[in-house]
Structure 1
Amino acid sequence: MLIVIGGLPATGKTTLSRLLASRTNGVHLRVDTIEQAIVRSGLARHPVGPVGYVVGYALAEEHLRQGLTVIAESVNPLAVTRDAWRDAAVRAGAPVLEVEVVCSDPDEHRRRARSRSVDIPDLPLPDWVQIAGRDYEPWNRDRLVVDTAGQEPENSLAPLIDAVLTARA
């Protein structure tokens, strides 16, 4: 199964993806990790454009063909990127669950953006102005929306686990 987790920076995507990967024994594909590896190689500088996503789609499809659960985490801001994740699952013959992580409290979201620390060496984190002004297209199809505002990660994870179990049934 492919679980696509998207949303603006500082909403809790990485935290939820890591927890979900641990609970499902899934492969966590993080586009930030892929993009920073490309930058470290010397082949590109930030922003790297679509290359990190394209590598992610290929890795997701390969892991899905091996029968693994894949948690693909990225901002996933455009319909074209969302469609590409779904297409990878279809080509691999795997079901897909799409998840949008939001933080509905703007003050909390801003605090998170300002207080978070980088966990990938040399990865530049966007500031609040960049996050708030980011191009992020509205979703045009059903997805699970997980609102992390005012909750501990475990509480935000619960509806996600329920949706995964339902999708697998």
Structure 2
Amino acid sequence: MSHTVAHVLPPLHGCVVLVVDATTGVGRRVASQLCALGAAVAVVGAGHPGRGDDAATNAAFLCKELAGIGLVALPYQADVERPESFAALTGQIAADLGPVTASVVVVPGGSGGEELAPSFRVLSGVVAASLPAGAEHVEVDMRSDGPSLEKAAQAVVERLVRLHETWRAPSG
């Protein structure tokens, strides 16, 4: 007697998602959840001037942590103060992981975030313009009057899962 085991693909299998400001807060939660749901995630740590950390190192550590549990994430570097540095990311990511199907840019809020927000909105526009046709772009605004980290991350993940389901749906 032969048994066939059905293999169910994770909901975001085949998606490549670029997440900017992915090493802390909502960006980290989004990147981790997307990976857990089967997406290959391009992690960009966006150095915040005055924060005293190394965004590239933080991105590498997050990717190592995710790889340690069998998930796919690669670190990338771009300079928030040079938004044009983000234009080449989608090509680099496509060469490494495949075409980018979605991007998420977290616009910081809260303490110190208000002066960074305009720069992040500009780089968000650069990222959106560099995406291949049909790719989804999500900008998450974390102003103090916005949603909590958990709610913001969950909303982004749910949106991308719904979109991916429509992309995968057979056309009839």
TM-score, normalised to structure 1's length? 0.47
Bigger RCO (CA 8 Å, 6+ sep): 1
Structure with higher Rg: it is: 2
